[in-house]
Structure 1
Amino acid sequence: MLKTIDKIQVGDTASFTKTISESDVYMYAGISGDFNPAHINAVEAEKGMFKERIAHGMLTASLISTVLGCHLPGPGTIYLSQELSFRKPVRFGDTIEAKVEVIERIEEKNRLILRTTCTNQHGEIVIDGKAMVMPPK
């Protein structure tokens, strides 16, 4: 649901949950051009630090954009900046909850600062960050 800055308060939250599939990873590789073997080559990935294929970090981070553009603030939101810290790998089959929480309102500039997190089905934070957005007027 669309919310303008006057309807949004510090502490407001929204989330989106998705299970990351093998096809999600392959489609993201095709769209982005990122064919790193850590994501698409099981034999090579077994030699790496995670011992199996993992999802692209930016695929997981894109779920934050879903929350911002579809839920809070919602359609028409302009994504201005994003800081990300990748904490843990996301494996095929992991269910990820992307959550945003309003931590600051800058009403005179029509800006919001939000904490952005992605957690897996075990409650572990896989991505932590902060975003700035311009909600619709």
Structure 2
Amino acid sequence: MPHEIGYTIDQLEVGMTRKFAKTITEADIVMFAGVSGDINSVHLNQKAAEKGMFGGRIAHGMLSAGLISACIANRLPGPGTVYLAQNLKFRAPVRPGDTVTATVSVRAIEHDKNRVSLETICDVDGKVVIEGEALVLAPKIMK
């Protein structure tokens, strides 16, 4: 049964995995464009995007990558976690209406430094769209 309030450093184990899924909507893309300032036509203009390499509009890569942050913040390790680093490789586009599933898995734990290395993957219907690694500080106590 998933732990719903997160984990402290001493509760984590290598191999633990949690997921967070969200369907990317038109509103998500428009709001992300407004917040980030990324108004590239590949995200916002269907006619212009049809002429590009993806043959249509795609969601911002960082919008999909944000689901990794949600999974880390809310699921593993969970509340109180501090992001230190993230690397990402964008493998395939995400389109409006796609459901992106972010999966976070514990790779290594440095108890003396309170650090956790995580494998981070986003997929759409089983196809990897983003892969990477994160380094976080896990909480020592839950509040």
Structure 1 position 69, deviation (Å): 0.5
* Identical amino acids, percent of aligned pairs: 54
Which residue pairs with 1:128 in the alignment? Answer: 131
CA shift digits 1:74-107 (9 cap, x unpaired): 1110000001000000011111100000000011
1:57 to 61, 64, 76: 61
What one-letter code is carried by the residue in structure 2 that aligns with 1:56? Answer: H
Which residue pairs with 1:104 in the alignment? Answer: 108
Q: State how far apart, in whole Å, the 2-side matches of 1:15 and 1:80 are.
A: 20
Q: State how far apart, in whole Å, the 2-side matches of 1:51 and 1:87 are.
A: 16
Structure 1 position 136, deviation (Å): 1.0
Structure 1 position 22, deviation (Å): 1.0
Normalised by the length of structure 1, the TM-score is 0.98
**Unpaired stretches in structure 1, ≥5 consecutive residues:** none
The correspondence of residues 10-29 of structure 1 with structure 2, limited to 5 A, is 10-29=14-33
The correspondence of residues 20-39 of structure 1 with structure 2, limited to 5 A, is 20-39=24-43
Structure 1 position 2, deviation (Å): 2.1
Whether 1:118 aligns to 2:122 is: yes
Q: State how far apart, in whole Å, the 1-side matches of 2:86 and 2:136 are.
A: 9
Q: State how far apart, in whole Å, the 1-side matches of 2:26 and 2:54 are.
A: 16
Normalised by the length of structure 2, the TM-score is 0.94
Structure 1 counterpart SS, 2:65 = helix
Structure 1 position 56, deviation (Å): 0.2
Q: State how far apart, in whole Å, the 1-side matches of 2:71 and 2:25 are.
A: 19
User: RMSD of aligned C-alpha atoms?
Assistant: 0.6
Q: State how far apart, in whole Å, the 2-side matches of 1:33 and 1:83 are.
A: 22
**Unpaired stretches in structure 2, ≥5 consecutive residues:** none
